[in-house]
């Protein structure tokens, strides 16, 4: 099934299959590394320098003292959490000048891949044996699935005997047609080393997000700590910098159009095996998200512009919301411009014709497409309703505080019988969230979001109290709710604690939460009612596609497992008469500067460095300019943020941080002429660290290649 040839630039390739599938094409493009140097279980290799950062991004080790670099937007929430109005590391930047000044980042972890092993045959054999043994049982499939899970448990147990301090995942690929045992090791003592101010790390803001040309110095640095045995350990002042098996060398050689480039990282999710019906539903769900987030973000932005404290409190909330929002807008446009759904329908017609010509194929795959469509159509309205509910009512923060309190209280009551103590414990859990909360902003959002839900929800999905409020004065209803509730501050909650549990569960916000939850519990079972049918049909459909396209490039959808993608440095033509050069420079930062626009502020010190041309060895020798960002045609998606961009020898030349606007349909179809990965040049990163941040001592840890 997997003996397929590889394309030069498309594909998120599985590391254990590089020798079989990618060695020759990579070498033909100019790669000078062997697959064993990239991925090895028995020897150190490049994969040992790559980490899953915080569970949603990628990072890489750049010294033998645990120094790690990733994107600024990947460290954004951690930097924001460490910031205060007095010490605003997000706005002002920060650089630790010694290990002692590195700031612990609670809750942050990094995970190393130790190895991947194909266990498909073992799991399938267990399933088939149990199925055959119980062929007359009414629940034979359930028995067989239990046997598969038991075998998976046995595989994990075997791996645990020889891999201490690791975790073990049985992960499916190709819609449950292939399974791998994946072994990970996670470190939880991670400390913030430094980052440029947001004016550089997020230069261009949402205006430039997903756009080219780009001038964002999107990086931050952290350090991984371990116990004295170099193994994972909880935070302790006695921990020492982790010594990685391998770290990346830093290249200052620069890049040229056509140079080989590759990326290793943890792409999150793609949909390249979905049908036209599924894609149509996806767009409909995205439309709901776009409308709701537009409403909320406009209110949030106005509040952030008016008050620096609110800007700090909501910086991460806004960025997290807006990133998906803009991508979905671009996706809708790209789908239309490129005819994505019509192309998918045409492929499905060809696929169906291939199936119909063979009895065996018809028996194996013939019903898959119709079953997928039935599952999608049957559950579409409920899925839309669930999304609307969560993107509007579910975004009002006092409801999330009430929900957090309820969950924390239930947990506390399971471990202690003293209700008063349990209440206080639950309050402490919620209180941490008030640091980044503005009640006036939440009120404004509630008026708009409650009103939007009532306006758009079908009659059967209305929440009674909100429907009633909409018939009068929604703003008055919201103000009454916020005035009466205890879920707007730690002080209110602590004051209410003396009145006992009734003060919390009879609270108007809690009662609204109950209505919200009851409505969700009506909708979700319908939305999920065809999940089993959809999973089985998708498995059959994907298996059929792989057989139909045998001999053509194929790789599984992204699923947050480590992948490799490769291609070249490359410009592109977005439309007739327009050519986008493959790199930008610091000059472009100065050209974009707008002191009246928060997204395009330029720090005075950076302007001084630029004016004096104090670039050190970070400038391009051919023109004396500092490179900012560059383009490659590698295949990436969300989760690849922070991934190392490496040259033909595996040296670090930049960090991947974005895709381009013209290819926002790339999670579904790769467009070789248009799809580009936007990367920050490592020389710009080092300039900001060294010349701007004054942390040049960190360079001494690195291995520099010139």
Phi, psi of 11 (to 5 degrees): 125, 140
Distance of CA 567 to the CA centre of its chain: 22
To the nearest 10 degrees (0 to 180), the angle between helices 308-338 and 340-356 is 50
Q: In this structure, what DSSP letter does residue 86 have? A: S
d(CA 415, CA 288) in angstroms, rounded, equals 41
Separation between Cα atoms, residue 116 and residue 472, nearest integer Å: 60
Quick one: which of 647, 652, 674 has its CA closest to 571? 674
- Given the residues 218, 436, 557, 690, select the one marked as catalytic: 218
Q: Which of 660, 657, 656 is nearest to 672 (CA)?
A: 660
Q: Which tokens sit at 518?
A: 């009851």
In 3D space, the residue among 115, 114, 124 whose CA is nearest the CA of residue 178 turns out to be 124
Q: Is 218 a catalytic residue?
A: yes
Rounded distance between C-alpha atoms, residue 145 and residue 151, angstroms:
10
Catalytic (active site) residue 641: yes
Q: CB under 8 Å, gap of 24 or more: what pairs does 456-463 form?
A: 456/388, 456/392, 457/385, 457/388, 457/389, 458/381, 458/385, 461/385, 461/388, 461/389, 461/519, 461/522, 461/523, 463/393, 463/512, 463/515, 463/516, 463/519
Question: Out of 52, 73, 215, 601, which one is annotated catalytic?
Answer: 73
52 is catalytic: no
CB 50 within 8 A of CB 274: no
The two structure tokens encoding residue 468:
């009633």
For residues 260 and 671, what is the distance between their CA atoms, to the nearest angstrom?
19
Distance between CA atoms of residues 244 and 281, nearest Å: 44
641, 643, 663, 665: which one is catalytic?
Answer: 641
Active site residues per annotation? 73, 218, 641
């Amino acid at each position: 099934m997997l003996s397929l040839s590889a394309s030069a630039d498309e594909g998120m390739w599985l590391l254990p299959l590089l020798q079989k599938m990618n060695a020759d094409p990579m070498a033909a493009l100019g790669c000078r590394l062997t697959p064993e140097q990239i991925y090895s279980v028995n020897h150190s290799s490049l994969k040992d320098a790559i980490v899953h950062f915080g569970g949603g991004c990628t990072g890489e080790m750049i010294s033998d003292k645990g120094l790690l670099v990733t994107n600024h937007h990947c460290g954004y929430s951690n930097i924001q959490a460490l910031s205060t109005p007095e010490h605003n590391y997000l706005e002002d930047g920060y650089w630790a000048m010694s290990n002692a000044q590195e700031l612990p980042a609670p809750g942050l972890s990094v995970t190393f891949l130790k190895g991947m092993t194909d266990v498909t045959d073992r799991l399938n054999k267990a399933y088939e044996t149990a199925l055959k043994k119980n062929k007359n049982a009414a629940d034979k499939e359930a028995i067989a699935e239990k046997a598969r899970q038991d075998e998976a448990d046995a595989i994990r147990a075997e791996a645990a005997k020889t891999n201490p301090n690791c975790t073990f995942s049985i992960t499916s690929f190709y819609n449950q047609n292939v399974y791998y045992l994946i072994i990970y090791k996670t470190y939880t003592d991670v400390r913030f080393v430094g980052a440029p101010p947001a004016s550089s790390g997020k230069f261009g803001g949402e205006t430039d997000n997903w756009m080219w040309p780009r001038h964002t110095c999107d990086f931050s640095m952290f350090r991984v700590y371990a116990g004295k045995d170099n193994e994972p350990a909880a935070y302790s002042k006695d921990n020492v910098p982790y010594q990685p098996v391998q770290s990346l060398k830093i290249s200052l050689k620069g890049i040229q159009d056509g140079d080989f480039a590759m990326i290793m990282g943890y792409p999150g999710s793609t949909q390249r095996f979905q049908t036209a019906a599924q894609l149509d539903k996806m767009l409909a769900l995205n439309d709901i998200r776009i409308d709701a987030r537009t409403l909320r973000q406009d209110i949030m932005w106005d509040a952030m512009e008016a008050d620096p404290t609110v800007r700090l409190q909501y910086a991460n909330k806004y960025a997290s919301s807006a990133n998906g929002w803009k991508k979905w807008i671009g996706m809708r446009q790209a789908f239309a411009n490129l005819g994505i759904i019509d192309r998918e329908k045409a492929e499905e017609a060809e696929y169906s014709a291939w199936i119909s010509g063979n009895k065996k194929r018809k028996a194996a795959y013939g019903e898959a497409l119709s079953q997928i469509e039935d599952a999608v159509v049957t559950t579409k309205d409920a899925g839309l309703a669930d999304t609307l509910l969560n993107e509007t009512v579910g975004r009002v923060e006092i409801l999330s505080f009430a929900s957090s309190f309820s969950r924390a209280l239930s947990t506390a009551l399971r471990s202690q019988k003293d209700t008063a103590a349990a209440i206080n414990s639950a309050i402490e859990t919620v209180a941490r969230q008030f640091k980044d909360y503005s009640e006036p902003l939440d009120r404004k959002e509630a008026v708009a979001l409650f009103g939007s839900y009532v306006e758009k929800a079908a009659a059967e999905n209305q929440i009674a109290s909100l429907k009633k409020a909409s018939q009068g004065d929604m703003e008055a209803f919201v103000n009454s709710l916020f005035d009466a509730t205890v879920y707007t501050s730690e002080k209110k909650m602590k004051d209410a604690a003396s009145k006992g549990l009734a003060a919390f569960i009879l609270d108007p916000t809690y009662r609204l939460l109950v209505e919200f939850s009851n409505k969700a519990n009506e909708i979700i079972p319908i939305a999920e009612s065809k999940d089993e049918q959809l999973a089985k049909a998708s498995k059959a459909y994907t298996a059929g596609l792989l057989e139909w396209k045998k001999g053509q490039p194929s790789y599984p959808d992204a699923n947050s497992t480590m992948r490799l993608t490769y291609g070249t440095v490359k410009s592109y033509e977005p439309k007739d008469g327009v050519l986008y050069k493959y790199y930008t420079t610091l000059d472009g930062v100065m050209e974009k500067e707008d002191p009246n626009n928060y997204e395009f502020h330029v720090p005075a010190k950076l302007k001084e460095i630029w004016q004096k041309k104090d670039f050190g060895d970070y400038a391009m020798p051919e023109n004396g300019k500092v490179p900012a960002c560059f383009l490659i045609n590698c295949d990436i998606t969300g989760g690849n943020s922070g991934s190392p961009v490496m040259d033909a020898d595996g040296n670090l030349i930049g960090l991947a941080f974005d895709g381009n606007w013209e290819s926002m349909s790339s999670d579904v179809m790769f467009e070789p002429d248009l799809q580009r990965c936007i990367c920050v040049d490592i020389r710009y990163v080092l300039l900001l660290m060294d010349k701007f941040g004054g942390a040049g001592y960190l360079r001494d840890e690195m291995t520099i290649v010139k």
